[in-house]
Amino acid sequence: MKTTIADVAGLAGVAKSTVSRYLNGGYVSDETRKKIDQVIKDTKYEPNTFAQSLKAKKTNLVGVVIPRLNSYSASLTLKGIDEKLRGEGYQLLISNTDQSIDREIESLYSFANQKVAGIILMATQITKEHLMAIREIEVPILSIGQEHQGVASLVYNDEEAGYDLAQYVLGCGHRRMIYVGVSEADVAVGKNRKRGFYRALEEAEDVEVDFYETDFSMKSAYRLFDSLNLEGKTLIACATDNIALGMMKALGERGISIPGDISITGFGDYEVADIMGLTTMHYPYEEAGQLAAQTVLYPEAARVSPPKSQIIFRKSVDILK
C-alpha cells in the first residue's frame, strides 16, 4: 500500500496539516521538521499528484499540439521543449493531429480539460476556431511557427530568411529561376518565406521567376517535377528541404546534374541535407523548443525572438560568374 500524508503524519505524531506545511515551505519548528524528515525518508513518501491537482486545479503537464510527429523540425523542436520542461519539473503531453484542423481544436479543449499548465501549439494555420478555443480555455498558450494577433507566438523571421537566401543566389549570378512553394494558408512557410524571397528578387534587375505550388511531402514534389518548365532556368528554390529532396530525386533519375546543369536550394537544414549537399537555410529548432517551453511556463519573462536562421552553404548552388 502506498503511503499517504496521513500515514506520515501518524508516524511522526503530528497532524496532516503540519506535514503539508512542511512540504510546502510553511513554518514548522526544527524539532518537528526533523521528525517528519525522517519519516518521509523511511517511507519514501511521495505526494499523490491527483490529490494535489484536485485542489490546485493545475498540473505539472504541458501539452504540445503537433501537426506531424514524424517530421524533422517537429521532433527536434519537441526535443528542445522536453529538455526545458524536464528541467523545470514538468511533463510533456503530446497530441499528434495529422494536419487535421478539427483535431487541433479538439486537442486544445482536451488539454484544457486536463488542466495542463500550458499549451504549445504548432499549428499549420490559425483559424477562427483556433481563436475561439484559445479564448475560451483559460490556459497559457504559445504558438510556434504561426503568428496571429492576440496569440502569444514564437516565430522565425521567415521573411528575412527568404530575403537572405534570395540575396545569396542572386549573388551567385542566378537570374532565371523557379520557386516551388506551398499554400499561402501557411503564413510562415507559404507566405512570409516567399515574400522575402521575392522582395530580394524585385530589388535586382532582369530577374525572372516561375512559381509552382505543392505540399510538404517529398513525394508530391517528386511528382510535380515533370510539370516544371526548366527551359533556361538555372536554379530551383524550394520552400522546404523536403521539397528540394523530392526534386533532387527526380533530377538524379533523369541524369540532370546538380549543380552542373541546375542549382537547387531548400529551407530547414534537415539532417539529410548534409549528405545530399543541399544548400539551405538552417533554423535553430531545438533552441526554439527550449525557448517555447520557457515562455509558456513563465509568460511574464521578456519576450525573446528565436535565434536567427542562417544559410548553410553546401554544393547544390553553382556560382555562375
Site residues (CB under 8 A) for its own copies? 46, 48-51, 53-54, 59, 61, 69-72, 74-76, 78-79, 82-83, 86, 91-96, 110, 113-115, 218, 245-246, 248-249, 252, 271-272, 274-277
Residue 288 C-alpha cell reads as 526554439
Q: How far is the CB of 229 from its own copies (least distance, A)?
A: 23
**Which residues 6+ apart lie within 8 Å of 185 measured at CB?**
124, 125
User: For 289, what's the count of Cα atoms within 13 Å in the CB-facing half-sphere?
Assistant: 25
257 binds, options its own copies, DNA, none, Cβ within 5 to 8 A by partner type: none
Task: Look at phi and psi of residue 235 and say left if phi exceeds 0, alpha if psi is from -120 to 50, else beta.
Answer: beta
Residues 57-96 interacting with DNA (rule: CB under 7 A): 57
Q: DSSP alpha helices (H): ranges in the chain?
A: 5-12, 16-23, 30-43, 49-56, 72-87, 101-113, 128-136, 158-171, 193-203, 218-224, 241-253, 271-276, 285-297
Contacts of 76 (CB under 8 A, 6+ apart): 285, 286, 289
CB of 46 to its own copies, least distance (A): 6
Q: Say whether residue 113 binds DNA (CB under 7 A).
A: no
> Could you give the 3-state DSSP secondary structure of residue 123?
coil
Interactions with DNA, residue window 9-48 (CB under 7 A): 13-18, 20-21, 23-24, 26-29, 31-32, 45, 47-48
Q: Among 7-15, 108-116, 207-215, 216-224, which window interacts with DNA (CB under 7 A)?
A: 7-15
* Residue among 243, 171, 186 at smallest CA distance from 194: 186
CA dist 164 and 10 (Å) reads: 68
Query: 122 with 144: CB under 8 angstroms?
Result: yes
- Minimum CB–partner distance for residue 37 and DNA (Å): 12
Which partner, DNA, its own copies, none, binds residue 205 by CB below 5 to 8 Å per kind? none
Q: Which of 44, 55, 128, 321 binds DNA (CB under 7 A)?
A: 55
**Of 23 and 250, CB closest to DNA:** 23
Angstrom distance (rounded) from CA 249 to CA 254: 9
Distance separating alpha carbons of residues 66 and 180, to the nearest angstrom? 24
Q: Which does 208 bind (CB under 5 to 8 A by kind): DNA, its own copies, none?
A: none
Min CB(247)–its own copies separation in Å: 10
Instruction: Rank residues 6 and 54 by Cβ distance to its own copies and give the closer one.
Output: 54
Q: Tell me which of its own copies, DNA, none is bound by residue 26, counting a contact when its beta carbon lies within the kind-specific cut-off of 5 to 8 angstroms.
A: DNA
Nearer to its own copies, 201 or 292 (CB): 292
Residue numbers at the binding site for DNA (CB under 7 A): 2, 4-6, 13-18, 20-21, 23-24, 26-29, 31-32, 45, 47-48, 51-52, 54-57
